[in-house]
Amino acid sequence: MFSGSFTAVVTPLKNNKVDFDAYKRIIDMQIKAGITGIIPCGSTGESATLSHSEHDEVIAKAVEFSSGKLKVIAGTGSNSTAEAIRLSKHAQEVGCDGVLLVAPYYNKPTQKGLYLHYKEVANAINIPVVLYNIQGRSAVNIEPKTIAQLAKDCKNIVAVKEASGSLDQMSQIRLLAPEMDLISGDDALTVPIMAIGGTGVISVLSNICPKVVADLVNAMLKKDLDKANEIAFKWLPLVKAMFIETNPIPVKAAMAMMGICSDEMRLPMCSLSDEHKESLRKTLKSYNLI
């Protein structure tokens, strides 16, 4: 169901408010580059520091600005099941194509708790659900057996964004739940994940290089491994540069250098260090992006 290149789109800020003019420009960039879809209000979209009203508006504007030309999978995860349900119902009401639900963070649920959480959210809506597995941010790993059970019991749980970094775990998911779309949550692992049956990537890099990511994913979907590897290796230094500090600090800094939007963030996130700014500027120049 979810195959292709998806951008985990930033939320541009100006004077501590969402800059919807810049947001529209960013989404227009994605459309022109041939990106399949966008994910508003994910980790890259700084959902943790958006108010509930801002969260709702950012998602609604994503649907409006996409004009049916991009799939919109809204980040609606929470460590409160009730809150995740409210956010997901809103995403459904405004016309999103699906929701992305990060594993509940901080409270560290058991696998049973994870299963019950996702089942309750999925049963509360009719649109597709993408699980989001990123233990580094959520403190818990959604085990392959749990994912497979959810896919079996909840027909609208159709995909998983895998950012565990473990190809072994991803292979287990493919084995136990072959009907699910396996989506890379790591730009650097798009080729190997798609090589074992993955269907695409939810990318940070595509905020600044959407066509590069679209071309890479399209090459893998066409099983042109040589072309995909050529693209992946060429752009790997820039992929690495996007994570020299916590995401989305570097990508917002790059977007500011490229004149796309401000690098403004909300505390506790802060701007890129001066040392890393110089390094990032050199990397962007080497790709003729600035």
Task: Give pLDDT, residue 108.
Answer: 95
**CB-based contacts of 78, cutoff 8 Å, min separation 6:** 84, 87, 104
| pLDDT of 1 strictly over 90 | no
In this structure, the chain runs to a length of 290
Task: Give pLDDT, residue 260.
Answer: 98
What residue ranges do the domains of the chain occupy? 4-222
The rounded distance, in Å, linking the Cα atoms of 197 and 214 is: 17
Averaged pLDDT for residues 45-61: 97
pTM over 0.85: yes
Architecture of domain 4-222: Alpha-Beta Barrel (3.20)
Report the catalytic residues: 132, 161
Averaged pLDDT for residues 189-194: 97
| pLDDT of 115 strictly over 90 | yes
**149-188 confidence digits (pLDDT tens):** 999 999 999 999 999 999 999 999 999 999 999 999 999 9
